[in-house]
Structure 1
Amino acid sequence: MNYSKSSSEDMPRPRKAQNDAAPANGSSNRSSSEEAQLLALTTDRRHFSLIRTLHMADFITLLNGLCGLMSIFSSLRYCLGDSNDYSNLWLAIAFTPFGLFFDFMDGKVARLRKKSSLMGQELDSLADLVSFGVAPSCCAFAIGFRTAVDNAVLVYFALCGLSRLARFNVTVAYLPKDKSGKSKYFEGTPIPTTLSLVFLMAYWVYQKWILDDLPYGIIGPGTWYAVHPAVGLFFVSGCAMISKSLHIPKI
C-alpha cells in the first residue's frame, strides 16, 4: 500500500520505489517504519499480533477480498439451485463493483491518514486477484461456460491476472516515471478492467442469454473439444493483462 497513490489509479498499492539498487550484501533500503513493521510481524508473539499490525486502509482492502469471495459463493449457489432463479447470479455480479470501490478507497484512506504497511502491499494484490480474477471466472462458469475447453480458458484468464499482479509488484519501481514520481504507464491492462466482462455478463443475464442460450452458441457440442466462442473474450482479456508491449497511460 502506498498513500501517495493517485486517486485515479485502480491498481494494487505498489511497493515504494527504491532510490538506488539494493546493496550487494543483500540489505534493503527500508525506512525505519518498514523495519519496525517487519520486526513486529516476525517477533511479536502476542495473541492477534497480525491484526495489531494492520492499518485502517488494510481492513478496507480486506473488504475488497470479501466482495470477491461473496461473489464466488453466490456463483456456487446459483449452480446448485434453480437455474431459472437469477437472484444469486445477480449477487455474484453485483459484488464485484463493490470490490472496485474498496480497492479505490484503501489508497485514498492510506493517503489521507499518511499510514501504510508492508502487509497492505501484499493484501491489495491478493484481494484484487480474488475480486477481479477468480470471481469473474466463477461467474462465467455459472452462466454457462462449462465445457472442458471453456474451463481451460477461464483458468488461463485467472492465471494471467495472477501473473500480471506479480509482475506489477516486481517492476513498478523500475517503470519510467514522470516529474511527480509516478509511473507513466501500466504494462498490460490493469486487472480491474476485467469488470468490463462482468458488466457484459450482466447484460447477458438481463437478456437471458445464458446456459444453452449463450451468444454465438457452442462449437462441437457433445465432444471433448466443445467450446463456446464467446469465451474467447476472456482469452483476449488475459492476453491483454500480461502483454509487455501494451502500455496503458496513467491518468
Structure 2
Amino acid sequence: MSKRTGASSNGGVSKVGAGNEPCTAYDKQKDLLGSTTGHFSLLRALHMADYITELNGACGILSVFSSLRYCLGDPSDKSNLYIALAFLPFGLFFDFMDGRVARWRKKSSMMGQELDSLADLISFGLAPACVAFSIGLRTTVDHVCLAAFVLCGLTRLARFNVTAANIPKDAAGKASYFEGTPIPTTLGLDALMAWWVSQDRILTDVPGGVWFAGSALEVHPVVLLFVVHGCLMCSKSLHVPKP
C-alpha cells in the first residue's frame, strides 16, 4: 500500500514541490539507478524512506523464517510461532513510518512505490499465509486457498499502483479512500491466529476442525477467512475511508 509517490499516488509528496526539491531528488535517483559505473550506486540511490520500507520487508521475511523454524522443530514449543506473529506489527510500524519520513523529507519516487508494495506483499500477504500453514492449515485445498489469498494481495497492490492517481483527493492531495481493504488489515487475521496459538488451538485442534477428512477435498473451514479477506482486498466497490 504505497504512500510515497506523491499526490499522484496516495496523498504523499508531489514530485514537484517547493523549490522543485522533490523533482531534483527524483531525477538524481533515476540517474543513479541508470548508472553503469560507480560503487554502491543502488544503495546511494535509495532515500531514507526506502530503507525504512526495507525494514518492513525484513520483518515479513523474518516472520516467514520463524514459521519455517516452527515447522522444523518441536510442535509443542510455540515460541517461534509467537516470534513469527510478533514481527508483523513491526512491519506495519515501518509501513507507516516510511510514508511519514518521505513527506517530512519531501522525497518520493517510483522506486519507493514499488519497494513499498513488494514489502507489503511479504509482510501482510506471504508471512500470514506461512503462519497459517504452520498452525495446521496444511491440506491441498488449504494450500490453494492460502495461495489465492496471497495472489489477491498481490493483485490489490498492483491495482493500487496503477489506479491511485484516479482516486479523488482532498485539497492537500490525500486520497479520500482505499479501493478494497488495505492489505495491512490482515493483521486482524494475525491477531486471531495469535489467540488460537495462545489457546493451543493449532495443528489437530484448529478451530472448526476439518471437513471431508481423508478425501482429496479435505479442508479446514477457517481457511475461508483468508479467502473472504482476499476478496475484500480486491473489491472495486468497497471504499474504505482513509484515516
Answer yes or no: same fold by TM over 0.5. yes
Q: Is the 8 A contact 2:129 2:146 kept in 1?
A: yes
Q: Is the 8 A contact 1:75 1:139 kept in 2?
A: yes
**Structure 2 residue 76 is the aligned partner of structure 1 residue 84:** yes
Alpha-carbon displacement from aligned partner over 1:66-98 (angstroms, at most 9, x marks no partner): 000000000001011110000111111100001
Distance 2:176 2:3 in 1: 16
Deviation of the 1:179 alpha carbon: 2.6
- Equivalenced residue count is 230
Q: Is the 8 A contact 2:177 2:240 kept in 1?
A: yes
Mapping of residues 44-193 of structure 1, within 5 Å: 44-193=36-185
Deviation of the 1:107 alpha carbon: 1.2
Which residue, out of 188, 191, 194, partners 1:199? 191
Deviation of the 1:57 alpha carbon: 1.2
What secondary structure is seen at the aligned counterpart in 2 of 1:164?
helix
Seen in structure 2, the aligned counterparts of structure 1 residues 188 and 194 have a Cα distance that, compared at 3 Å, is: same
Deviation of the 1:33 alpha carbon: 3.7
- What is the TM-score with the length of structure 1 in the denominator? 0.88
- Aligned partner letter, 2:123: S
Distance 2:59 2:81 in 1: 14
Which residue, out of 3, 16, 40, partners 2:6? 16
Deviation of the 1:14 alpha carbon: 4.5
Distance 1:238 1:63 in 2: 24
Unaligned runs of 5+ in 1: 1-10, 19-29
- Aligned partner letter, 1:163: T
Q: C-alpha root-mean-square deviation of aligned residues, in Å?
A: 1.4
Distance 2:108 2:4 in 1: 11
Alpha-carbon displacement from aligned partner over 1:92-147 (angstroms, at most 9, x marks no partner): 11000010011111111222222233321111110000000000000000000000
Task: Select between 221-230 and 171-180 the one with higher mean Cα deviation.
Answer: 171-180
- Aligned partner letter, 1:12: S
Deviation of the 1:17 alpha carbon: 4.4
Alpha-carbon displacement from aligned partner over 1:131-175 (angstroms, at most 9, x marks no partner): 000000000000000000000000000000000000001111111
What secondary structure is seen at the aligned counterpart in 2 of 1:222?
coil
Q: State the partner residue of 2:231.
A: 239
Unaligned runs of 5+ in 2: 9-21
Distance 1:44 1:107 in 2: 29
Distance 1:178 1:107 in 2: 17
Quick one: percent identity of the two aligned structures?
63
Q: Is the 8 A contact 2:4 2:99 kept in 1?
A: no
- What is the TM-score with the length of structure 2 in the denominator? 0.91
Deviation of the 1:39 alpha carbon: 2.1
Q: Is the 8 A contact 2:29 2:46 kept in 1?
A: no
- Aligned partner letter, 2:47: H
Q: Is the 8 A contact 1:187 1:244 kept in 2?
A: yes
- Aligned partner letter, 2:26: E
Alpha-carbon displacement from aligned partner over 1:196-244 (angstroms, at most 9, x marks no partner): 0000000000000000001110001111100001111000000000000
